[in-house]
Amino acid sequence: MNHFELEGGELRCEGVSLTEIAAQVGTPVYVYSTATLTRHYKAFSEAFKGRNVLVAYAVKANSNLSVLRTLARLGAGADTVSEGEIRRALAAGVPPERIVFSGVGKTDAELEYALEVGVQEINVESEPELDRLSQVAAGMGKRAAIAIRVNPDVGAGGHAKIATGKSENKFGVSMSESQRLYAKAMNLPGVRPVAVACHIGSQITDLTPMREAFGKMRDLVLRLRAEGLPVERLDLGGGLGVPYFHQPEPPTPADFGKMVEETLQGLDIDLAFEPGRLIAANAGVLLSRVIHVHERPEGPRFLVVDAAMNDLIRPAMYEAYHDIRPVKPRAGEPLDYDVVGPVCETGDTFARARPLAPLQRDDLVAFMSAGAYGAAMSSEYNSRPLVPEVLVDGDRWAVVRKRPSYEEMLAREPMADWL
C-alpha cells in the first residue's frame, strides 16, 4: 500500500496535490511520501518482534538525506557501500553503531574512514580484503568487527543484472571458504569476526530461494559454533520484492518474517537485514509533463514526456515495468502509447503500447514505484540537470534536493588552463 491516491479526479501524495508540486518545482521531479516510508519500515521491523534485529536500510536505494533522516528517526540503521553513503547516513543522524559497510571493492581510504567513525560492522567479501582490512585496522590500533559475506550459490532476483547470490557473481566467498576465513580472521590482529552475511539478489518475489539460502546460512552458523567460533549475528541481506504491477505479487514482510523464523528453527542469534527497495520503491513517484503527442499515421503513438532515462534508468537498464498514471485522468477510452523521453537513444523508452487514459500536451503523468533506484541512479546524461526531489509529510512538503541551475552545472568544470 502507498499514499499516492486519486482524490477528486487528481492524483495526490498524502495531503498534497501533485499538480501543485509540479507547478512550483517544475518537472521532472521525484516526490516521496513520508507516510509510506514509515509504513514500510514499520511493517518490516514488526515482522521480527521478539528478536534482536538491526534493520539497516540499504542507502543505495534512495540516499536522499531527508529520506535517510525520516528512517533514522524510526530507528533504522544503514547498509552502506561507499564512504559517500557512510557520510550520508551519519549526516542524516544514523548512529555509527547502526551502520554496516559492505561492497566488493572498498578502498583502504574507505576502510580507514569506516574504522575512524566506528561503524558497527564491516562485511568482508574476499580473502584479499580480509587481509587488507586487518592490516589497515591494526595500523590504526583497532580491531574491526566483521562479517564474512557468503555467496550461498542460490539463484534469485528478477533480472540477471541484480542477481548476486550465484557462484559466478562477484559477491562474497563460497560456503566452504567462509569457514576457513572465519577461523583465519580469529587469528588476525586487526579484525574480530562476529557475523556471517548473505544477500542473494533484489526484487525477489518467491521465498523459495531465500529459504534455501538462509537454511545454508543457519547450517554454517552451527558448523562455526561447533568449531568453537563465536557467531553473534546473522545478516540476511535485502532483496524482498515489491509490487510493480503486472509482476508476481511478492510475499509480505510478515510472510518473509515467518519464513525466516521457520528456517532458523529457534537458532539463538541476533539478526540484521538490509532492505532497500521494500522501504523506498512504492514511497516515490517520478512526476513528468507531456511535451507533446507524436502520432505516426502508420506507426506507434509516442507520448513524449520531459523525464528521460537519465532521471529513471530502470526501464532502459533492466526492462523494468513502471506503472504510469495520468495525474488528472481524462474521460475516454484508453489509448496505446509508447512513452518516451527526450534523450537521443531508442533505449530512452519507458513503455511500449501502454494503454493510458487519453493524454494531451502539458498533462502530468506519474511513474509509480520510482522511490527506489530512481533518483539514486540518475545522471546528467544529455546535459539534463540532475532531477530534483520533494518530500511530502501530511499536508506539508519540501524540496529536499534542488534542481541545479545550468550555471551550477557548467561551473563544476574548470576549463583546462591551456585552452
Residue with Cβ nearer ligand LLP (66 or 202): 202
Determine if 190 is a binding residue for ligand LLP (CB under 6 A): no
Helix 127-139 vs helix 108-117: crossing angle, to nearest 10: 50
Nearer residue to ligand LLP within complex by CB, 241 or 388: 241
Handedness of CA 134, 139, 143, 145 (dihedral sign): negative
Task: Please choose, out of 67-75, 259-267, 275-283, 297-305, the segment that lies near ligand LLP by the rule CB under 6 A.
Answer: 275-283
Under rule CB under 6 A, residue 102 binds ligand LLP: yes
Asked whether position 202 contacts ligand LLP by CB under 6 A, the answer is yes
Where does 256-334 show beta strands of DSSP type E?
A: 270-273, 284-295, 301-305, 324-326
Of 107-115, 244-252, 272-280, 354-362, the segment contacting ligand LLP by CB under 6 A is 272-280
Collapsing DSSP states into helix, strand and coil, what is residue 97?
Answer: helix
CB 61 within 8 A of CB 372: yes
User: Does residue 58 interact with ligand LLP by CB under 6 A?
Assistant: yes
- The overall longest dimension of the chain from CA atoms, in Å, is 74
Of the candidate residues 25, 61, 154, 290, the single one contacting ligand LLP (CB under 6 A): 61
Contact between 199 and ligand LLP (CB under 6 A)? yes
Assess 162 for contact with ligand LLP (CB under 6 A).
yes
For 228-237, give one letter per residue: b (16+ CB within 10 A) or e. Answer: eeebebbbbb
**Which parts of 50-128 are beta strand (E)?**
53-58, 77-80, 99-101, 121-124
Q: Are 372 and 276 in contact (CB under 8 A)?
A: yes
Q: How far apart are CA 135 and CA 354, in angstroms?
A: 55
**Helical H runs in 75-229?**
83-92, 108-117, 127-139, 175-186, 207-226
Annotation says 344 is catalytic: yes
CA distance 210 to 154: 8
Rounded-to-integer distance, Cα 239 and Cα 242, Å: 9
With contacts defined by CB under 6 A, how many residues of the chain interact with ligand LLP? 20
What nine digits make up the cell of 182?
572465519
> For ligand LLP, which is the closer residue by CB, 277 or 325?
277
Q: Does 237 bind ligand LLP (CB under 6 A)?
A: yes
Shortest CB 102 distance to ligand LLP, Å: 5
If one asks whether residue 277 binds ligand LLP (CB under 6 A), the answer comes out as yes
User: Does the protein bind ligand LLP through residue 238 (CB under 6 A)?
Assistant: yes
| Active-site pick, 222, 344, 398, 410 | 344
The answer to whether the beta carbons of residues 39 and 73 sit under 8 Å apart is no
Residue 274 binds ligand LLP, judged by CB under 6 A: yes
Interface region with ligand LLP, contact rule CB under 6 A, candidates 174-182, 274-282, 353-361, 410-418: 274-282
| Closest separation in Å from C-beta 269 to ligand LLP | 19
- Judged by CB under 6 A, the residue of 124, 207, 271, 278 near ligand LLP is 278
Segment near ligand LLP (CB under 6 A); pick from 137-145, 236-244, 294-302, 404-412: 236-244
Q: Which of residues 331-390 bind ligand LLP (CB under 6 A)?
A: 373
Please give the residue ranges that form the binding site for ligand LLP (CB under 6 A): 58, 61, 79, 102, 162, 164, 199, 202-203, 237-239, 274-278, 314, 318, 373
Residues marked as catalytic: 344
